[in-house]
Amino acid sequence: MLNLKVEIDSHSGFCFGVVYAIDMAEEILDEQGYLYCLGDIVHNDEEVKRLEQKGLEIINYEKFKNLKNEKVLIRAHGEPPSTYQIAVENNLTLIDASCPVVLKLQNRIRKSFEKDEKIYIYGKHGHAEVMGLLGQTNNQAVVFQNLEELDMKALPEKITLYSQTTKSVEKFLSIGREIKNTGIEVESNDTICRQVANRDSELRIFAAKYDKVIFVAGMKSSNGKVLYEVCKSQNPNAYFVSEAGQLETRWFQAGNRIGVCGATSTPMWLMEEVRDKLLTY
């Protein structure tokens, strides 16, 4: 026995937006035994499997367009206006679990678009939330993942800058400064979720306290990739796993103090499974 000492980060786990969406889904699943969800309800395969076993069916946009007279859950990431239009046409009842932080951002972007502002969104191409944000501008806003994608010489004299809600505040502010330094006028709108943003500093403190860190997240989670790198920067002995079966005993030595943490899309039950597995070594 390695007699590992294992602690779970109390701040890790679902953000309130994901909790809200899953609570709504489970309530309806308990009532009618099945429910359609447009896209993965959360970017964590293990949690999706758990809910699918209760009757949740993940559908893509193609199936959504052909579905009629059913209930469909809108996940925390939010949706573009076109989704709501299809729902009206197909007599679909939308169970809207869009995160309030995302809805506020959508509203601000829509108002900027109505004022003919040149909108630039710092975010991940193809991400569900970003697609919803783009929809507020009839897909006319410019999305970029890093400054290298932008041709500074071709940018308008003035832009309105927004960010996907789960991005790093520091990176967003840095991008705004760099664009301003080229002489472009930037109206910067920091709408990043503070529950997510605060995880950065909290994780730095947490990761530094342990011999080894196990970061638990789904492979599809953008937030997970970012936060894992935060852990790794503070503790080189940080390992990324999506479930307990990916743990390897060779990572640990007798008496190690192990910290277990995760993304805002990581369920607590999954981190507990990882902890329990480590305690058997």
Active site residues: 129
SS3 assignment for 165-218: CCCCHHHHHHHHHHHHCCCCEEEECCCCCHHHHHHHHHHHHHHCCCCEEEEECC
Ordered DSSP codes for 147-169:
GGGS-GGGS-SEEEEEE-TTS-H
Residues in contact with 64: Cβ distance below 8 Å, sequence separation at least 6, in sequence order: 36, 38, 72, 83, 86, 92
Burial 225-239 (b: 16+ CB within 10 A, else e): bbbbebbbebbebbb
